[in-house]
Amino acid sequence: MSGDDLRMTGAAQRGPALAIVVDGVPVTAYGGESIAAALMAAGQPVMRWTAHAGQPRGYFCGMGVCQDCLVTVDDHPNVRACMTPVREGLRVATQQGLGDLGVSR
Amino acid sequence: MQTVKLESSDVVVIGGGVIGCAIAYHLAGAGKRVTVVERRGVGQEASGANVGLVTLFSGHSLEEPDPGPVYELTRASADAYATLGDEVGVDIEYERCGGVVFAETEDRLASIRRAYEGYQRHGVPVSWLDAPAVRECEPAFSSDRVLGGVFCPLNGQINPLMLCRAYALGARRRGARFVLGVAVQEIYHANGRVSAVRTSDGAIRCEHVVNAAGAWAAEVGAMVGIDLPVVPARGQIILTEPVPRFIRHVVSGAEPSARQTRRGNVIIGSTVENAGFDKRVTTDTIAEFAAGVLPHFPRLRGLNVIRSWAGLRPATPDHKPIIELADDPEGFCLAVGHSRRGICYAGGTGQLVTDLIAGGARSLSPEAFRLSRFAGASGRWNAQPIASAPADRRESTLMEDAE
Amino acid sequence: MSGVPGSDECVVVGGGPAGLAAARTAARHGVHVTLVDENAELGGQYYRQMPAGFSAAPGSALGRETIEGRRLIEEVRGADVELRLETVAWGIFDERTVAVATREASSLISARTLVLAPGAIDRPVPFPGWTTPGVLTAGGAQNLMKAYGVLPGRRVIIAGSGPLLFVVAHYLLQGGAKVVAICEASPMRQLWRYAPRMLPHLDFVQQGYRYRQEIKDAGVPFLTGHVIRRALGATQVTGAVISRCDDDWSPIEGTEESFDVDAIVVGYGFVSSVELARLAGCQHAWDADLGGWTAVRNRDLESTVPGVFIAGDGAGVAGSAVALEEGHLAGLAVAGRAGRLTGRAYSREISRARGRLLHLAGFRRVMDQLFRFGPGIYTLADGETTLCRCEEVPVMDALQATREGAVEVNEVKAWTRIGMGRCQGRMCGPALAHLIARATGHSVADAGVFTPRPPVKPVALEALAREGA
């Protein structure tokens, strides 16, 4: 462990290193990680701010059930960070409230 | 000898849905002692399963192009809702956001035009929209085939669950009692007059009984020998996750339609089906709704469906309610058959029933809501009397046991 | 959506230990199986694998479950099992028609036999500050560490009940985190009384002893009869307050202690995921020891709906060993129904499976007694504590609803929005039922469950509009 990286060194051989962009800032991640794992490893546990009371939320159940780790990914809101793998250049934004309606696909 | 719990009240209202609760609220406000008997909980049936619309001009207007009793009933309800929330201290989320009623066929356009002219003559604020104006009025709505429509600023939406809550809370504060989780088993009506109601938890002596039993109205009517033409008409709805507000108005004109709640969820629905008392949601409907709503509301693309439900509307043959104080048995009042517009009529029904029972000045005319309109030219009040259980003997036993 | 009736012999929903075992056993006897799972890889929670591209570092050992899981997964992949991954089973209709969806399309699968193996979720326990980033469940912490090798924090406190707390501590310590304390809610008194019944299960005992030694050697305080009280920190966790509790897990005022931590792992047992089974019409009964509502099943693990079997933690939380054996038993029953395993061979296999389950039941009973669920845990929340995470509704709103006559979870939901969010009531349902019971004096069972309706998990509107293969 060095600096802010919460990855357990020596625990695993990870996939190739890549960079995702979180709120405009590049963050190191490894191929195969979920967005949540990458954010937690980077010491960034706040993933969204709630709509009603503006409260911070993040990774809680880790299995896609609690719906609290919602982030906006490449302009699509309400993406579960714990269920979504990282990709080179993925743009992640801490979600504010309900997010924007997003791009119509 | 078994002792039976015996209480007394001025009025027993059978049914704790929005109609029963609104009636209790108004009756209690007129000084009556009211007991609402509900076998489940408040607002747990159709009252809590609908889209939540309060529309002054809508599809129903096409059947009554000169606004009449149905319009007045809705107007009275809408006006009541405007202040109810503050009166009781419950946020019923009533929003007069305005409504667009559109047509995609010439026939429908003509019908809307007729109604528009009738409503305009009557002084109801309605504006005509050509096709481009429809789209401009409601940017969330999309249609290549829209021909035109009407905008009515009085149309709005409400949270029907909270509406029930407000009426129930208000009624209780005014002294009404709610007996929940208890079923009505018998209505005593010896000598042509109601006198008591027997429930699974004892009996209640009363002078009036109101049938507000929704889709189960016929069952209750049969207890006093009245055959009611009210049958369940299932309505299914699906619901999306909450998103920022993008649908401005209530949009009517095609099913399924979509309307957005204050929280941001989008309600998509509804069906009108004959499914008996089956409240299950079907896969066919879910697929039809999803496929049917996307062309009209393309921004729904990308949203998740998180819930669905179904309710049983109490449907009459002409979709209009039956609100009437009976001659036989005396003291028995009907407040049934609100069909697709229970939320639109609840406030007005509460007022009308109170006028009928408490003898107040009539603000609304009950003529159009008589049961006899279904009986044909004979004008008989009972379409088909059903023999009821002999009440006298049991009732006197009850009185003997009373403390 | 379309589906050819009876086109699939056996559909298994859930790719964890129970589902994998059921699929493997049924396929072994010649039944064609379709296995549906929401995740991209098989294993569920207990057999969670590392993602593609990850492997064990040289010199480091993979967890025993990971290896065990991989073996079973490979067996299933090599068998006649059609895999539909990243596919959500969102409803069951007409007894054995399963509605499934990917992000793109939805379809109906009609099955002759259906095995539901949806597993369980960590019991969500509301307490002041539980929504703060840095508070996570034991299962969530496990996934982070086992699958991705990421620590939830550097100074961690663990609070909950049961052997899983040791496992979490083990991974944290291995990863170099400081575990400031383990708070076990149960008193764990007089352990010697359980010794005779633990004798047939020495491997579990040995494992437990090893973990216990590890945390002792690391100087981690193991505090029995203690519960989490509060998570401190405005944006993320900066500290934790714990206190002593009584045998029912109710906090004892005046015994609070604070710790500086950056993560709080909470693990107060599990609750079965019963939504799909309920939607299918399977009858459920209340069993507080098994996590609450559990499916009513016969000796073949068949539910009250003919042809629908339920195996594993989804039918009552009994752990992975039981899940594997139940999955196997369900697979045998399915093979029996399909006429692939009959007569003496069938009876022999089934008896063996039932015998092993009986053997495991003894161990389960000890565990259930040692770590007996204490309903007092649901008094940790105060009026301002968020009860419904999705809709941000505090406990006090639920209490107000009960004062107005709401006595059942659906009635409280209607008036407060509790349970109306995206998690569909999973995070708040159990706590709400207990809260209503406490407020009204009625039983927790009478407080009811949220009416099950499709979709039981969020599904894309677009997918519902589009017919899949």
Tell me how far apart the alpha carbons of residues C192 and B399 are, in angstroms, rounded to a whole number: 65
Name residues 230-249 of chain C within 8 A of A (Cβ): 234-237
Q: How many CB atoms lie within 10 A of CB C404?
A: 16
Residue B59 CA to its chain's centroid (Å): 16
Distance from CA of C425 to the nearest CA of A (A): 9
Is ipTM > 0.90 here? yes
CB pairs A-B closer than 8 Å: 27
Which pairs count as long-range contacts for C444-449, CB under 8 Å and 24+ apart, including other chains? Answer: C444/C286, C444/C288, C444/C292, C444/C375, C445/C286, C446/C407, C446/C408, C447/C407, C447/C408, C447/C409, C448/C408, C448/C409, C448/C410, C449/C274, C449/C278, C449/C293, C449/C409
Largest distance between two CA atoms of chain A: 43
Nearest residue to B337 via CA among B307, B313, B359 = B313
- Residue B21: predicted pLDDT: 98
Distance from CA of C191 to the nearest CA of A (A): 31
Name residues 122-141 of chain C within 8 A of A (Cβ): 122, 124, 131-137, 139-141
What φ, ψ does residue C169 adopt, rounded to 5°?
-60, -40
Q: How many CB atoms lie within 10 A of CB B15?
A: 29
3-state secondary structure of C393: strand
Q: Which of A97, A98, A104 sits opposite B299 (nearest CB)?
A: A104
pLDDT digits (tens, 9 = 90+) for B102-116: 999 999 999 999 999
Tell me how far apart the alpha carbons of residues B158 and B170 are, in angstroms, rounded to a whole number: 17
Q: What angle do CA B324, B68, B354 make, to 5 degrees?
A: 30
Q: Mean of the pLDDT values across residues C384-401?
A: 98
More confident residue, B126 or B399: B126
Closest residue of chain C to A38, computed from CA coordinates: C150
Q: What angle separates helix B160-173 from helix B69-88, to the nearest 10 degrees?
A: 70
Closest residue of chain C to B169, computed from CA coordinates: C404
Amino acid residing at B194? V
Q: Is C462 on the interface with A (CB under 8 A)?
A: yes
- Residue C3: predicted pLDDT: 47
pLDDT digits (tens, 9 = 90+) for C152-202: 999 999 999 999 999 999 999 999 999 999 999 999 888 888 888 888 888
Domain with residue C398: its CATH number is 1.10.10.1100
SS3 content of chain B, % helix, strand, coil (to 5): 35, 25, 40
Cα pseudo-dihedral C294, C296, C298, C302, rounded to 10: -80
pLDDT digits (tens, 9 = 90+) for B32-88: 999 999 999 999 999 999 999 999 999 999 989 999 999 999 999 999 999 999 999
Same domain membership, residue C226 and residue C137? yes
Residues of A in contact with C140 (CB under 8 A): 59-63, 82
CATH numeric code, B231-315: 3.30.9.10
What's the number of domains chain C is made of?
Answer: 3
Query: Is residue B343 a contact partner of residue B16, using CB atoms and an 8 Å limit?
Result: no
C361 domain residue, yes or no: no
More confident residue, C293 or C409: C409
Domain with residue C64: its CATH number is 3.50.50.60
Residue B6 — pLDDT band, cuts 50, 70, 90?
confident
Closest residue of chain A to C263, computed from CA coordinates: A45
pLDDT digits (tens, 9 = 90+) for C315-367: 988 899 999 999 999 999 999 999 999 999 999 999 999 999 999 998 888 88
Task: Please check the confidence at residue A77 and state whether its pLDDT lies above 60.
Answer: yes
The pLDDT > 90 percentage for chain C reads: 84
Q: Where are the domains of chain B?
A: 1-52+159-230+317-398, 231-315
Domain hosting residue C303, numbered range: 8-121+271-341
Tell me how far apart the alpha carbons of residues B267 and B259 are, in angstroms, rounded to a whole number: 5
- Residue B387: predicted pLDDT: 31
The helix (H) or strand (E) run that includes residue C34 is strand C33-36
Same domain membership, residue C239 and residue C186? yes
Residues of B in contact with A102 (CB under 8 A): 302
Which of C268, C293, C319 terminates a domain? The answer is C268
Give chain A's radius of gyration (CA, Å): 13
Q: Is B189 on the interface with C (CB under 8 A)?
A: no
Closest residue of chain B to C411, computed from CA coordinates: B41
Q: How many CB atoms lie within 10 A of CB B393?
A: 10
Task: Please check the confidence at residue A2 and state whether its pLDDT lies above 70.
Answer: no
In order of start, what are the domains of chain A with their CATH numbers?
17-95 (3.10.20.440)
Cα pseudo-dihedral A60, A64, A66, A67, rounded to 10: 100
Same domain membership, residue C154 and residue C76? no
Q: Is C53 on the interface with A (CB under 8 A)?
A: yes
Q: Which two tokens stand for residue C51?
A: 């993602």
The lowest-confidence range among A57-61, B2-6, C110-114 is B2-6
Q: Which chains touch B (3 or more CB pairs under 8 A)?
A: A, C
Q: Is A31 on the interface with C (CB under 8 A)?
A: yes
Tell me how far apart the alpha carbons of residues B163 and B154 are, in angstroms, rounded to a whole number: 18
Cβ of B302 within 8 Å of Cβ of A102? The answer is: yes
Distance from CA of A49 to the nearest CA of B (A): 14
Tell me how far apart the alpha carbons of residues C451 and B299 are, in angstroms, rounded to a whole number: 29
Query: Is residue C305 a contact partner of residue C95, using CB atoms and an 8 Å limit?
Result: yes
Q: Which of C54, C140, C144 sits opposite A13 (nearest CB)?
A: C54
Count Cβ atoms within 10 A of the Cβ of residue B248 and give its class: 0-12 exposed, 13-18 middle, 19 or more buried.
middle
End-to-end CA distance of chain C: 9
3-state secondary structure of B62: helix
C20 domain residue, yes or no: yes
Cβ of A57 within 8 Å of Cβ of C427? The answer is: no
Cα-based distances in Å from B39 to B220, C41, C449 = 13, 47, 18
Q: Which of B264, B301, B302 sits opposite A98 (nearest CB)?
A: B264
Residue B3 — pLDDT band, cuts 50, 70, 90?
low
The pLDDT > 90 percentage for chain B reads: 87
C414 domain residue, yes or no: yes
- Residue B381: predicted pLDDT: 41
CATH numeric code, B1-52+159-230+317-398: 3.50.50.60
C370 domain residue, yes or no: no
Task: Please check the confidence at residue C4 and state whether its pLDDT lies above 60.
Answer: no
- Residue B28: predicted pLDDT: 98
Q: Is B180 on the interface with C (CB under 8 A)?
A: yes
Same domain membership, residue C231 and residue C133? yes
Same domain membership, residue C275 and residue C198? no
The lowest-confidence range among B40-54, B171-185, C134-148, C179-193 is C179-193
Q: Is A66 on the interface with C (CB under 8 A)?
A: yes
